[in-house]
Chains A and B, each alone.
Chain A
Amino acid sequence: MEQKSIFEALQSKTQLPLEWVEDAYGPKLKIAPQDLVAVLTLLKNDSALGFDCLTNQTGSHMDPVIRLYYVLYSYLHHHELVVFCEVPVGAPVVNSVVGLFGGANWLERETFDLLGVKFTGHPDLTRIMLPEDWVGHPLRKDYVYVQEYNGIDNRPSEITKSFQPS
């Protein structure tokens, strides 16, 4: 299905506010964070849309919000849709979609680990890439590099400094 007709089909089935955002690489669906589960449920269960797979999920820190991307794919109809919502950096909380897509479990854990977004209803929201006692979320733009971790000196050497990109 074409991107445009996906949007129209979705709009005819729900009263929730949907926004169609166009950028240089095609349209994306913007929704409010509280509608996330409702919209994704609709996208998954509707037979004409049939988005049965959450193929990618991540976030991006764009002060003052964190934008969360959900890339859905339909193995039935072979079409893709990028859905995103924005949560404030101060209180980055959104509902988990693990109940809908099993693959979301680890993807959300990674987003939690690296960007500090809390997914309510997630069965095991723990750090996945970094150690449990790590402080901070490295993929945030204001992340300060740790100077020392459990006795390991992490300060950049003089040689490293000379290669720092401007």
Chain B
Amino acid sequence: MGKQLRTELMTINMGPQHPSTHGVIRFIIKTDGEVIHECQPDVGYLHRSIEKISEKVNWQGFVPFTDRVDYLASMNANWAYCFAVERMLGTEVPRRAEFLRVMVGELNRISSHLIAIGATAMDLGGFTPFIQLLREREYINDLLEMACGARLTYNYISIGGVNYDVPRNWTEKVGEFLEHFELAMEQMNRLISYNRIFINRMANLAVIPREMAIQYNLVGPNLRGSGVKFDLRRDHPYSVYPELDFEVPVGVGIEGQVGDCYDRYHVRMMEIRESINILRQCIKMMPPGEIQGKVKNVIKPPEGTIHVRTETPRGDTGYLIQSDGKTSAYRLKIRTGSFTAMSVIPAVAPGLFIADLIALIGSLDVVAPELDR
């Protein structure tokens, strides 16, 4: 009779300073060897009380703060807030401004997805794609810098329009970039998308079925990865999206089951393709004209509460704004895609290997500042 081995669950910490948790997030994991029994994310390390700040600054003054909500997609974050305030005021946005918004928004969506894809690949051990994708992202940063002078926190979209017009030949430069970028994407597909090692790591992993995705309020690419064909740009269209022709890619279980990590990755890859499509159409349709609608210097939206959702790269951003008719918001709540994506991890993680948790976080595209606000 050998001695009985004593076994027990081991609690380990992943983070807050961990290279693969995409920012300052901590996971408290109870493991049995390599297998996760329980995973509790501990968030809030980057809480900067942006919602409280919104109650102190005036309506226009809050726009630069929205940059900091999601620094990888500041254009879309600006847009989400400005669109909500415009809905409150009933402001008409000039047509040229709408096209500029769509263009910078889609460029920013591409650059945000590039980081998501590259970081996922890097976390799984492939360093080359990250560097390559970051190089492509630099070109987009150059284009956005031409438009607004900043490379990360743009503060470009303002309430009623955009702050500056783009330089001459900007649209041609975007066109040139797209020519080059499509080839680069093909290279990227060969490097990761069709890579057997990558597929085997991602396929059939951490499957989030359709009902669970809706239950846990997943949004954007994560929701579409689970097979829900829903895109605010198509289902509740805003701006000039009704005039543009694009597909809504959904997860179909291309390498495994619907809603696995590879599906979420694949949806992002397809969305980049659709964004390229949208940009090409915008270049052709870009009208001349004004870039700023009529907005008073002191904004006082009427009393009441509004909830506005806008499609941003990390799912949709839901702004619930309560106004009391004064010069700043009475209460402003930002529900971001990262927040809901993070809340699904305790439900999905049990049973995964620790190394696979990294793939799950990467495929959900969680960004810590957007999560904590």
Contact = CB atoms under 8 A, between A and B. Distances in A.
Interface in B45-101: 47, 49, 51-52, 56-57, 87-88
Interface of B: 43-44, 47, 49, 51-52, 56-57, 87-88, 212, 214-217, 219, 228, 230, 235-236, 301-307, 309, 318, 320, 322, 330-331, 333, 335, 339-340, 342-344, 347, 372
B342 A78 contact: no
Contacts of B347: 102
Query: Could you tell me the dominant secondary structure of chain B's interface residues?
Result: mixed
Interface string A61-83: 10000000101000100101010
B366 to A, nearest CB: 13
Contacts of A75: 214, 228, 230
A25 B304 contact: yes
A121 B230 CA distance: 32
Interface stretch (A5-13, A32-40, A47-55, A147-155): A47-55
Contacts of B372: 129
20 contacts: A24-B88, A24-B301, A28-B305, A53-B217, A54-B217, A55-B217, A55-B219, A60-B330, A69-B333, A71-B307, A78-B235, A82-B307, A84-B305, A102-B215, A102-B347, A103-B216, A106-B343, A107-B217, A128-B43, A129-B43
A156 interface: no
Nearest to B309: A55
A23 B305 contact: yes
Please indicate which of the listed interface residues A23, A61, A84 has the most CB atoms of chain B within 10 Å of its own CB.
Answer: A23
Given A78-B236, A139-B52, A102 B216 contact: yes
A74 to B, nearest CB: 10
A149 B335 CA distance: 28
A130 B44 contact: yes
Contacts, number: 95
The 6 closest A-B pairs by CB, nearest first: A23-B304, A103-B217, A106-B343, A24-B302, A60-B331, A58-B333
A114 B230 CA distance: 31
A103 B340 contact: yes
Contacts of B320: 56, 58, 69, 71
A71 to B, nearest CB: 5
Contact of A101 (B87, B215, B235, B339): B215
A17 interface: no
Interface in A104-157: 105-107, 114, 127-131, 138-139
Given A101-B215, A130-B44, A130-B47, 18 more contacts: A23-B302, A25-B305, A25-B306, A53-B215, A56-B320, A56-B335, A60-B331, A69-B305, A69-B320, A75-B230, A82-B305, A84-B305, A102-B215, A102-B217, A102-B344, A103-B216, A139-B331, A165-B57
Contacts of B219: 55
B212 A102 contact: yes
Nearest to A101: B215
